[in-house]
């Protein structure tokens, strides 16, 4: 079983940042209910983007999320507020040191 970490960076359309955040907040509770979702949290980045940090118990859980209704709904809710497609990066953790060395 390998944990998978994901970052998804959302670039809002000019003047649509608040609407993007509201749409993400509306969709997030359904994702929190999905199997294997350990973390799914949005953050306001200094460069004006919104970054989602995700942690999934297994890659299979992440794959099911990507093909499921919650992510489909999320996509339809946020699409009007995006200036570009989300930039998604999938990662495998490389823990180091004590508990603080892993997400």
What is the Cα–Cα distance from 23 to 91, expressed in whole angstroms?
Answer: 25
In a domain, 102, yes or no: no
In a domain, 100, yes or no: no
Residue 20 class from Cβ within 10 Å (0-12 exposed, 13-18 middle, 19+ buried)?
A: buried
pLDDT at 98 over 90: no
pLDDT at 1 over 80: no
pLDDT for res 103: 87
The pLDDT tens digits for 51-79 are 999 999 999 999 999 999 999 999 999 99
Domain membership of residue 73 as a residue range: 4-92
The CATH number assigned to the domain holding 76 equals 3.30.70.100
Number of domains in the chain: 1
To the question of pTM greater than 0.85 for the whole model, the response is yes
């Amino acid at each position: 079983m390998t944990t998978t970490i994901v970052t998804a960076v959302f670039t809002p359309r000019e003047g649509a940042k608040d609407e993007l955040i509201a749409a993400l907040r509306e969709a997030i509770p359904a994702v929190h209910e999905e199997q294997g979702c350990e973390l799914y949290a949005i953050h306001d980045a200094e460069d004006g983007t919104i970054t989602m940090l995700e942690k999934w118990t297994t890659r299979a859980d992440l794959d099911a999320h990507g093909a499921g209704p919650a992510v489909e709904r999320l996509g339809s809710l946020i699409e009007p507020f995006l200036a570009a497609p989300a930039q998604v990066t999938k990662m495998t953790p490389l823990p180091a040191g004590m508990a603080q060395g892993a997400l």
